[in-house]
Structures are given as structure tokens and as C-alpha cells.
Amino acid sequence: MRWSSVPLARQELSTVRALRPVDHGTAWTRHARGTAARESPRPSRLLRAAGPVLDRLAAELDGQPVVMLLADPGARVLARVAGRPELEAWLDELRVRPGTCLDEEEAGTNAIGRALEERRPVVVSGREHTRQRLHGFSCCAVPVRNAVTGVVRGVLGIGCRADEPSGLLRPLVSEAVRRIESRLSTGTAHHERLLLERFLQATRRSPVAVVSLNRDVLMSNTMAATLVGPSDQALLWEWASGRLVGRTEYTGELRLSGGVVVRARCSRVGGDEQTGILIEMRPAAGGLVAAVRSTDDAGGGTVGLPGRSGAADRIRREVATAAGARLPVLLTGAPGVGKLFVARHLHERTRAGQRFSVLPPGDGAGWAARFAEALRTCGTVVLRHADELPDELLTDVVDAVERLGQDPGAHPVTLVATVRAGGADRPATDRLRAWFPVRLHLPPLRRRADDVPDIAAVIIREHARYPSPPRLRSATVQNLMRQEWPGNVRELRAVLTGALMRSMGSDIGIEHLPPEYREAPIAARLTPMQRAEREALLDALDDSDGNKQAAAERLGIARSTLYRKLRILGIDGRCLSG
């Protein structure tokens, strides 16, 4: 937590500065001595529930040397209250204001971050703080939970000087949290009652599969229960909420986790996203999709090529075509998208039981000899990162491709090469593209958000060390679907492997993810037009291998403009190389 060393001196003249709702409830402003600051976006349900409680505390603590902070589940400050004007200035100087992140990874040991990390009330005092500037400060923080589900909705912290009496901090914070939770429960009960009423109306009037859901609750009738799998709640929510932007109703096709394609109609309940969404579904004609099978990375058993997006359908069709042709195949895509996984799948369909050889890039006569020997062995030969081969070895590869392409039935081997996306400007990649008769492109995971639940399920089955693999909770699936995944499936695998260890066999919740993955990035809040612009920027960066100057030239904009748009559109610097 970034605090300064401004002293907490007592003053006779004091005031309380708190966040209060404006008359229409559509924004929150900070009032101080009769002046209003710039308005912030529409408040969350937590902020609306906490508002009257914070106002009451502000009145009771007027003139006292205390500060209060309300934060969301990602440790981002939603509201603050200062009992004295010098404390307000102190918080400003420390940049602790709405929007500041107090996660322990970023801000060091502090009560807000620790209470969220440990999911329990904590007191951090004096030298227990990581930052030296906080050694004169004590703070008690208590998580705010949903009274029904137990899910942590945020945290409230109250702090004072370390040398002030602090014994009453915990009961004071605990009582305030109970009031906030009560108000949250009242609001939740109202929303869920509306959700139930719409659900019952829909099931009575039409013999179709009906689902009524929000971020916490899913209701389904008997027909829907046979269609909707455990991972589908997050998918249904993301699909419906994304298509209801600017609309009250939408109808379209949707693929569920069981491989069933349905014709779905979704509509808002209660006029806002907080209450929920009603979805009515009928199986589409020919809606049952047979899963394609392939070997997994561990080499044992079979799993399907996971995914339910349009891109996943295209990959399955193209893999089936390539398997039937038995011609050399070129797989392109960004690092970590799963090119080797698809190559294994192709091998299982064409050369099951035979040798599967993977040749990393190399140079010299030794690599050429290994390549020639592999081509004489029955099975599949995969040239990984073939675009990194030196020019003199590319001649051997191109000659082999030409021979295999002329009469595939006369050769005992299937040749597969993988190259990075964005390598079109390399002469080596151009030569490979020209000679390989079959080419498959794997898009980045950020374009295949609907595939994340299915890919995650495969990864969990592969790495789980329990008889019954744990599942992802619905909120966790929603969070993972909204991430950027600059490292693609490889990054998702690393995140889930760590989460499996932290969950110790229980279902994986958001708290089991690394801290930087517990909150959806800014891209999840962009408009459709902003997302399209963002995708164009990311494509240019992919094609330029992360070189921002080259990406700006491709887009026909100045480099300074590119930097500004990267900030506005929330493009993660981890995606970029320079």
C-alpha cells in the first residue's frame, strides 16, 4: 500500500469526507465542505449497499483520527472515508483513492490485501507492514461476504495511528460489515425473487429448456438440466450478457459443453444486469456434434480437440481434411496456442501406433542426418519452429515436402511443421508456406474465449492427482474467459497447474488463482467498437512480433498514437517485446 509519512496530527477544525450516492443513484461523488468532485462510473452492488453504512460511520467518526477504505474482491479501492481533513490530504498524497489496488503482490503486506488473501478478519499494525512508511499505522480489515453463498464481495478496513487506542477497531469494523452484508442480502433476495418469477413464467408458458441465471445463481428446468453441463453457467452468462449490450433480447445459436448446438433466446430480467438473464433453448437441427478424438500430451488415453467456438469447429474440420489427404501439413500460430497438441491429434488419426518424432530447430550436418533418418521411419515427423531453421537446411525440408506431396501413399511418414504466426515477412516462412500443400492456422486464445472452459477441463484432467478431478467454479470460469492470455494455452496451463496445487483437491475458486488473474482486465469492459479496435492493434503487434514501431507503420499511425491507444484499450505489456 503506497502511504506517505505525512504525520497524523490532531486538529481542532475537522470534517469528514466520504463517498455518497447522488440523487439518481447512477454515480458516486466525493463531497467535501460542500464541493463535489468528478463523478465516477455507476456504482457496484457492494458500493450501493455500503453507502448508507459508510455515511453513518462518517458521521459517528467525524473529527476522529481514523480512515476507512472499502475495496472490491480484487483489492481495488471503491470508497474511502477520512475523519480529518489532513488525513484526506494524506491519502491523496499516498495516491490511495478509488481505483488504487492494494493487493499484497503490488502493495506489500497491508490489512486490505491480507484480509482478501486469507479470507478472514486481520489486523496489521506497525512494523508488520512491509513498507516502512506504514510502521506508524494500524488497520483492521474484515471481508464482506454474500450471506447466502459465502462468496467474498469485498473488504472494509478501518485504520488509525499505531499509538492510538485500537482495541475497538475490530468490533467496529465487524459491526459495519454485518450491516453491509445485511443490505447486500436484502438486495440479493429481491433480485433472486424477480429471477425466480421470470423463470416460473417461462417454464409454464413454453415446453422448452429454460435457464435463469446471474453471476451467483443458476435455475434450470428438467429439459435444460439434460443440456447444460457444469461448465456452461459461465459460458451462458458471457454469451448472453455480451449479446444483450444495447438490446433487451437476442436470438442466436450456441454450442454447449456436451456438443449440443441450441437455438437460444436471451432477455434481461428486471431491466439490468444485476438481476439476471433468462435464456430459452431448443436443440438446433443436427445440433448434436460428435467429438473428435486425439491423444493427449501425456501420451495416454484420448481426449477431444477441445472447444466450442467457431474457430474450434474450423480447426476440427481442417484437421479431418488433412488426415484424409495424408499430405505434409504446416501449422501456424502464436507461441503457446497448441500446435504440438494438434500435431499429436493428427498423428493419432493417421499413424496411430506408429512413431511420433519431434525435431527442434538445429543446424549443421547432424540435424540433416536426424531429419533424413526420421523420414525413413513409419510414423509422424514434427519440425518444431521450422521458421528458425537456417537457409541451408530449408532446402532439405522443401525437397522432402515435394517428394511426400507427389505420392503420399508411397511414403511411410506424415510430415508436420510448426511456425509462429507473424512470420510472413521472413523469407524462410514464405518458402515453407509455398511448399506445404496443407496449412492450418490456430488463432490466439484471446479470440477463443468460449473454448477456455473446455481447454481448462482437459488440462485439469491431465494434471489432477485425485480420483475425481476438481472442477472450476462458475465465477472462476467467467474470470478465466475474460483474461488476455498473451501466452495462450501454455499460460492457461501454468495458471491452472498452480491453482490445482493451491486448491488441494477442492473445486478451484478465484482465490486459488495467482493474484494477477483474480480480476478481469479492462478489455472485459470495452464496447464492441473498442474491442474491434483493440483486436486490430493486437493483430498488428502479432504480425510485427511485438515491435511497436513496426506495428504503428502497419496501422498507418504515429508511434505516440499507438502508445496512447495501448493505454486506453488496456493492452497488457506482457504481449509486447519492445
Domain span including residue 203: 190-288
CA contacts within 13 A on the Cβ side of 327:
17
What is residue 290's DSSP assignment? Answer: P
- The average pLDDT across 327-336 equals 89
Calpha distance 280→203 (Å, rounded): 9
Same domain? For 507 and 546 the reply is no
Calpha distance 104→110 (Å, rounded): 7
Q: What is the CATH number of the domain that holds 544?
A: 1.10.10.60
Using DSSP's 3-state secondary structure scheme, residue 245 falls into coil
Would you say residue 577 has pLDDT above 90?
Answer: no
Give the count of domains, the chain.
Answer: 5
Does 172 fall in a domain?
A: no
Does 70 fall in a domain?
A: yes
Does 1 fall in a domain?
A: no
Q: What is the CATH number of the domain that holds 221?
A: 3.30.450.20
Q: What is the CATH number of the domain that holds 342?
A: 3.40.50.300
pLDDT for residue 30: 36
Cell of 254: 450456441
Does 80 fall in a domain?
A: yes
CA contacts within 13 A on the Cβ side of 320:
12
Which one of 443, 474, 496 terminates a domain? 443
What is residue 423's DSSP assignment? Answer: -
**Strand locations in 270-405, DSSP E?**
276-288, 293-295, 302-304, 329-333, 355-359, 379-383
pLDDT for residue 187: 63
Does 79 fall in a domain?
A: yes
Would you say residue 181 has pLDDT above 70?
Answer: yes
Does 173 fall in a domain?
A: no
H helix or E strand, kind and range, residue 320:
helix 310-325
pLDDT for residue 280: 92
Query: H helices of 504-558, where?
Result: 528-543, 548-555
End-to-end, the C-alpha distance of the chain in Å comes to: 29
Does 4 fall in a domain?
A: no
Highest-pLDDT range among 101-105, 245-249, 456-460: 456-460
110-131: per-residue pLDDT in tens?
A: 888 888 888 889 888 877 777 7
Same domain? For 436 and 479 the reply is no
| φ/ψ (deg, to 5) at 163 | -90, 5
Which one of 398, 424, 443 terminates a domain? 443
Taking every pair of C-alpha atoms in the chain, what is the biggest distance, in angstroms?
A: 95
Q: Report the amino acid identity of residue 130.
A: T
Question: Among 130, 133, 128, 66, which residue's Cα sits nearest to residue 95?
Answer: 133
Would you say residue 337 has pLDDT above 50?
Answer: yes
Q: What is the CATH number of the domain that holds 44?
A: 3.30.450.40
pLDDT for residue 59: 86
Q: Bridge partners of 281?
A: 209, 264
For the chain, give the mean pLDDT.
Answer: 76
Question: How many contiguous H segments (helices) and E segments (strands) does the chain have?
Answer: 18, 20
H helix or E strand, kind and range, residue 157:
strand 152-161
Calpha distance 302→347 (Å, rounded): 12
Least confident of 1-10, 39-48, 381-390: 1-10
61-90: per-residue pLDDT in tens?
A: 888 888 889 998 888 888 888 888 888 887
Same domain? For 210 and 300 the reply is no
What CA dihedral angle connects 454, 457, 462 and 463, to 10 degrees? 140
